[in-house]
Amino acid sequence: MTPKYIFVTGGVTSSLGKGIIAASLAKLLQARGYKVTIQKLDPYINVDPGTLNPYEHGECYVTEDGAETDLDLGHYERFLNHPTSQANNVTTGRIYQHVINREREGAFLGKTVQVIPHITDEIKRRIKLLGETGNYEIVITEIGGTVGDIESLPYIESVRQLLWELKDEDALVIHLTLLPYLSSSNELKTKPTQHSVKLLLESGVQPDILVCRTEHAITKEMRKKIALFCNVDANSVIEALDVPTIYDVPLMMLKEKLDKTVLSKLKLSAKNEPDLESWKNFLTRHKNPKNEIRIGLIGKYVELPDAYKSIIEAFIHAGASNEARVRVQYIHSELIADDNVAQKLGDLDGILVAPGFGDRGIEGKITAIKYAREHNVPFFGICLGMQMAVIEFARNVIGWKDAHSTEMNAKTKHPVIDMMSDQKNITKKGGTMRLGSYVCELSKNSIAYKAYDKSKVNERHRHRYEFNPKFQAEFEANGLHITGINPETKLAEIVELKDHPYFIGVQFHPEYKSTVLNPHPLFVRFLKAAVAFNLSSK
Ligand code: GLN
């Protein structure tokens, strides 16, 4: 079947949730039996978000094939339960880099290289790449930014060209807008929506469907008014009310018949009703918890929870499996010290020490880990969190007071965390870490083995430093066990304490692989331990 293309644009304001609308539509189409994928086009000039501070753009998400991407790809995977790849996230930086490299190679010899056609051709090529794999019947492309932004113009122009090139029934545009509510006059206003559709029209793009974010239900008259002013039919004006959780959005879009409207415009059959049984089961468990637990998320970007998006979502998935409401307490690692740790962490049922880079806040992380170890509080360390657990153990159990990671102290006599040898000569920053999926072999009887219930797993990485094998014997002799290793390189991927209810540190990022239908086993097990801790301390 010729692939169908759906473009999702946004108007009026940013942060309307295009990613969630795109993922929800994809979920509904997938639940009707279609093979769907979603792609995000980001209008910034960074080649990828890997070098961006999380304060700028939230978490950097990592795919199986090692792409450092926008956090929306995490939503796509969590909703669709299907991996994305390098091709699912494209930035202006990547487009220009490709075109400029080709120019230097002489590919355009004699020609003036211009935004139109060279940049737009490259954008169109990237859009069609996923469709041309033959793996998907429908490709949804989310255009980052807001219509009217200077930097989105080449993307909108590329959409215009594709709409012109493709058959009518092979492509459509969904425009997401906001209907602001004026409380003084008690009314929803449609004018910003009209104006943002006009802006799109100025670029030659007529949206087929409008999804209107709103705090209040829209009346029939209002739908008609929006339809009339924006040249769409009234059935194509979709209401998107605020809902308690993003996981409600697919069901809300089903009620609004977004999927049916899309299928009829694309001339695709809508005969099978979507199978959302397991999705609904998840929502029921999520909304009817039997227990409530408090988990401390110790990190240095806690002012911006988007920096830990995948971890927070993994808690929601694993919380539902455990029928537990997870109250995440964000605790700034810089504010934890020996004299306040008991007060800050004393009422937690579990402690997660987050990934990160650089030395800001690491002593607070180490203090938190010592507290978890000594007070039998379930502990889960991810990437930097695992490295800090190794350092804490070296300093406070083995007695190497100067133990450190060479990321923070290059001169320590006990570099228990050290740079991988193949990283030592790398000077460039972008895309040069150990990235993407690697195999990990688990020891029988370990916490990890019990959680996964298998001995070989694949997990995604994003780091430069590793557990230093030189010190492995001393760690083992003192009770910190390596229970997961990479079979090829023998790198330590998991550390665990034996005499503790749940103490595990992982060098990889399990949070990237947690989905609604497949909550991550390590998160499920961690929360199970937290529920047990909570019940035992009552
Ligand atoms: N900074 C550490 C490293 O590069 C950990 C990275 C992380 O937590 N993602 O190895």
The DSSP code sequence of 220-260 is HHHHHHHHHHHTS-GGGEEEEE--SSGGGHHHHHHHTTHHH
Residue 271 confidence (pLDDT)? 79
CB neighbour list of residue 125: distance below 8 Å, 6 or more residues apart: none
* Atom in ligand 1 nearest the alpha carbon of residue 354: 8
In the reported structure, the alpha carbon of residue 138 is separated from the centroid of ligand 1 by a whole-number distance in angstroms of 36
In the reported structure, the alpha carbon of residue 506 is separated from the centroid of ligand 1 by a whole-number distance in angstroms of 11
* Atom in ligand 1 nearest the alpha carbon of residue 407: 1
In the reported structure, the alpha carbon of residue 356 is separated from the centroid of ligand 1 by a whole-number distance in angstroms of 6
Residues with CB under 6 A from ligand 1: 355-357, 383-384, 407, 462-465
Low-confidence ranges of the chain (pLDDT < 50): none
* Atom in ligand 1 nearest the alpha carbon of residue 433: 4
Q: Taking the model in full, what pTM does it have?
A: 0.95
* Atom in ligand 1 nearest the alpha carbon of residue 509: 9
For 166: left if phi > 0, alpha if psi spans -120 to 50, otherwise beta; the answer is beta
In the reported structure, the alpha carbon of residue 363 is separated from the centroid of ligand 1 by a whole-number distance in angstroms of 15
* Atom in ligand 1 nearest the alpha carbon of residue 383: 8
| Distance (Å, whole) CA 434 – CA 461 | 6
| Distance (Å, whole) CA 372 – CA 81 | 33
In the reported structure, the alpha carbon of residue 357 is separated from the centroid of ligand 1 by a whole-number distance in angstroms of 5
CB 216 within 8 A of CB 222: no
**For 409, which DSSP code?**
-
* Atom in ligand 1 nearest the alpha carbon of residue 357: 1
**For 219, which DSSP code?**
P
Please tell me the residue having the least CA distance from ligand 1 atom 1: 357
Sign of the CA dihedral 94, 95, 101, 104?
A: negative
CB 213 within 8 A of CB 178: yes
In the reported structure, the alpha carbon of residue 464 is separated from the centroid of ligand 1 by a whole-number distance in angstroms of 6
| Distance (Å, whole) CA 191 – CA 209 | 17
The SS3 assignment for 59 reads coil
In the reported structure, the alpha carbon of residue 49 is separated from the centroid of ligand 1 by a whole-number distance in angstroms of 16
Q: Of 311, 419, 463, which is best to mutate to test ligand 1, by the most ligand atoms within 8 angstroms of its C-beta?
A: 463
Q: Residue 146's closest CA among 76, 89, 203, 216?
A: 203
Burial category of 183 from C-beta neighbours within 10 Å (exposed 0-12, middle 13-18, buried 19 and up): exposed
Pure H helices in 266-409: 277-287, 309-321, 341-345, 362-374, 384-393
- H or E element, residue 99: helix 92-105
Instruction: Give per-residue burial for 460-491: e unless 16+ CB within 10 Å, then b.
Output: bbbbbbbbbeebbebbeeeebbbbbbbeeeeb
> Could you tell me the two tokens for 62?
């990592």
| Distance (Å, whole) CA 202 – CA 366 | 56
| Distance (Å, whole) CA 140 – CA 39 | 6
* Atom in ligand 1 nearest the alpha carbon of residue 419: 10
Please tell me the residue having the least CA distance from ligand 1 atom 8: 355
Residue 485 confidence (pLDDT)? 97
In the reported structure, the alpha carbon of residue 434 is separated from the centroid of ligand 1 by a whole-number distance in angstroms of 10
Q: Which residues are catalytic?
A: 383, 509, 511
Q: Tokens 């004006």, residue?
A: 237
Sign of the CA dihedral 137, 143, 148, 151?
A: negative
Please tell me the residue having the least CA distance from ligand 1 atom 5: 384
CB neighbour list of residue 317: distance below 8 Å, 6 or more residues apart: 78, 282, 514, 515, 516, 518, 519, 520, 523
In the reported structure, the alpha carbon of residue 301 is separated from the centroid of ligand 1 by a whole-number distance in angstroms of 14
Residue 32 confidence (pLDDT)? 96
Residue 424 confidence (pLDDT)? 74
Q: Of 384, 424, 461, which is best to mutate to test ligand 1, by the most ligand atoms within 8 angstroms of its C-beta?
A: 384
**For 357, which DSSP code?**
-
Q: Of 61, 310, 383, 404, which is best to mutate to test ligand 1, by the most ligand atoms within 8 angstroms of its C-beta?
A: 383
Q: Of 382, 407, 426, 435, which is best to mutate to test ligand 1, by the most ligand atoms within 8 angstroms of its C-beta?
A: 407
> Could you tell me the two tokens for 258?
């977004």
Please tell me the residue having the least CA distance from ligand 1 atom 3: 463
